[in-house]
């Protein structure tokens, strides 16, 4: 009788063990926010071993404004390693939150070595593919914006992983249909010290690099693109038509060429355009070249009764430097 009672008590204890463990796992999640360092440490160790089921909850919590809690979460996720990677990729948009959060994502993927780095490259390319599919007249601007936010966040983490210079298939993105993707790809490639393998890729690379953040590996992308344009203006026009850089990079490159061929082109484009604002932009580039040929052509445009009048309406002081 006593033996049977002992067995029953043991079975009851085993039955209670599983919900207790489950409760302990949830409690550890709560303990990550404890004011007690030892309590947090125990929770990190517990979740770092058995917290994979809570990976979605752990990564979602990275949006917190509590910096200590966020760093504690990163400690858990780094311990979890690869089992948390899918969720970390899903929440990578948080990398834009602040410097510490970006560093947390960087530390996590660095801890996975090549496996983490290659996963980022694959995710970058699949996100770019999704952007290409959405970059259509019938596509959603909102969805495209969300996709590009993710693309930039992945790129940001890849840029921070300076221990790995592999660029995989990223050079293909220099011919992506969406200009924002091309620009970000150019910056990532520059950070990785990538070198263009053809004149066409070099032209796209330098012209798009001219429209983004300064990269320490290329001192003056405008000058590099301008030198190429002065040497092979046909190639510049072809790549510019198919893969135009963002912002005013095109005008800055043209102005920096110092080429008579480019001066003639700007003069003709000014005369042929029916849009007075485009005329004005071309004229300002022409005048800004500061070569004898360009200055003479700029003065000639100002003497044109129609064009000169339109230019002076937009800028009454346009003659001052000529």
Do the domain assignments include residue 297? Answer: yes
Question: How far apart are alpha carbons 185 and 180 in whole angstroms?
Answer: 8
Grade residue 10 by pLDDT with cuts at 50, 70 and 90: low
pLDDT by residue (tens digit) across 111-131?
A: 999 999 999 999 999 999 999
Residue 289 domain-assigned?
yes
H or E stretch at 104: helix 99-111
Number of domains in the chain: 1
Cβ(122)–Cβ(149) below 8 Å: no
- 138 part of a folded domain: no
Q: Which of 301, 228, 310 is nearest to 263 (CA)?
A: 301
Q: Taking Cα atoms as reference points, which of 43, 15, 14, 13 lies closest to residue 27? A: 43
Is residue 307 one of the residues assigned to a domain? yes
Residue 217, domain member (yes or no): no
90 and 97 in contact (C-beta within 8 Å)? Answer: no
Share of the chain above pLDDT 90, in %: 88
**Rg for the chain, CA atoms, rounded:** 29
pLDDT of 9 over the 50 cut: no
Residue predicted with more confidence, 4 or 57: 57
Q: How far is residue 271's CA from residue 170's CA, in Å, rounded to a whole number?
A: 40
Residue 278 lies in a domain: yes
| Per-residue confidence band for 26, with pLDDT thresholds at 50, 70 and 90 | confident
Report the C-alpha gap between 16 and 123 in whole angstroms: 43
Q: Angle at CA 112, nearest 5°, toward 50 and 35?
A: 50
Confidence at 322, pLDDT banded by 50, 70, 90: confident
Quickly state the pLDDT bin for 251 (edges 50, 70, 90): very high
Report the alpha-carbon distance of residue 158 to residue 151 in Å, rounded.
11
Q: Which domain holds residue 299?
A: 247-322
| CA distances from residue 7 to 4, 14, 292 in whole angstroms, order as listed | 5, 11, 103
Instruction: Measure the CA–CA gap between 67 and 98, rounded to whole angstroms.
Output: 10
What the block records as the tokens of 260 is 């008579």
Residues 152, 185: contact at Cβ < 8 Å? Answer: no
Supply the mean pLDDT for the chain: 92
Exposed e or buried b per residue across 136-162, where buried means at least 16 C-beta atoms within 10 angstroms of its C-beta: eeeeeeeebeebbebbbbbbbbbbbbe
pLDDT of residue 317: 87
Q: Judge whether 93 lies within some domain.
A: no
In a domain, 275, yes or no: yes
CA dihedral sign, ordered 167, 172, 174, 180: negative
Report whether pLDDT(18) > 90.
no
Number of Cβ within 10 Å of residue 298's Cβ equals 26
Q: What is the mean pLDDT of residues 85-112?
A: 96
Q: How many CB atoms are closer than 10 A to CB 77?
A: 27
pLDDT tens, position by position, 178-235: 999 999 999 999 999 999 999 999 999 999 999 999 999 999 999 999 999 999 999 9
The answer on pLDDT for 12 being more than 70 is no
């Amino acid at each position: 009788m006593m033996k049977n009672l002992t067995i029953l008590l043991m079975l009851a204890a085993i039955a209670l063990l599983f919900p207790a463990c489950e409760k302990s796992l949830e409690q550890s999640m709560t303990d990550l926010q404890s004011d007690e360092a030892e309590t947090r440490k125990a929770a990190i160790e517990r979740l770092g071993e058995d917290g994979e089921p809570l990976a979605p909850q752990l990564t979602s919590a990275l949006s917190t404004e509590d910096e200590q809690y966020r760093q504690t979460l990163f400690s858990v996720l780094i311990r979890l390693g690869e089992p948390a990677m899918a969720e970390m990729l899903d929440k990578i948009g948080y990398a834009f939150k602040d410097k510490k959060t970006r560093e947390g994502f960087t530390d996590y993927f660095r801890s996975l070595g090549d496996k983490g780095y290659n996963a980022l490259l694959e995710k970058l390319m699949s996100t770019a593919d999704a952007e290409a599919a959405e970059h259509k007249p019938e596509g959603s601007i909102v969805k495209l914006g969300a996709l590009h936010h993710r693309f930039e966040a992945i790129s940001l983490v890849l840029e921070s992983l300076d221990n790995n210079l592999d660029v995989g298939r990223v050079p293909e993105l220099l011919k992506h249909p969406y200009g924002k993707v091309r620009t970000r790809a150019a910056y990532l490639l520059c950070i990785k010290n990538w070198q263009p393998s053809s004149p066409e890729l070099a032209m796209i690379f330098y012209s798009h690099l001219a429209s983004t953040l300064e990269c320490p590996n290329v001192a003056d992308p405008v000058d590099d693109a301008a030198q190429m344009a002065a040497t092979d203006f046909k190639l510049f026009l072809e790549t510019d038509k198919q893969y135009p850089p963002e912002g005013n990079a095109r005008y800055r490159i043209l102005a920096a060429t110092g080429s008579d061929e480019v001066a003639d082109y700007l003069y003709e484009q000014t005369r042929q355009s029916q849009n007075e604002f485009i005329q004005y932009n071309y004229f300002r580039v022409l005048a800004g070249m500061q070569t004898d040929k360009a200055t003479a052509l700029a003065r000639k445009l100002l003497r044109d009764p129609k064009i000169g009048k339109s230019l002076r309406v937009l800028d009454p002081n346009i003659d001052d430097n000529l």
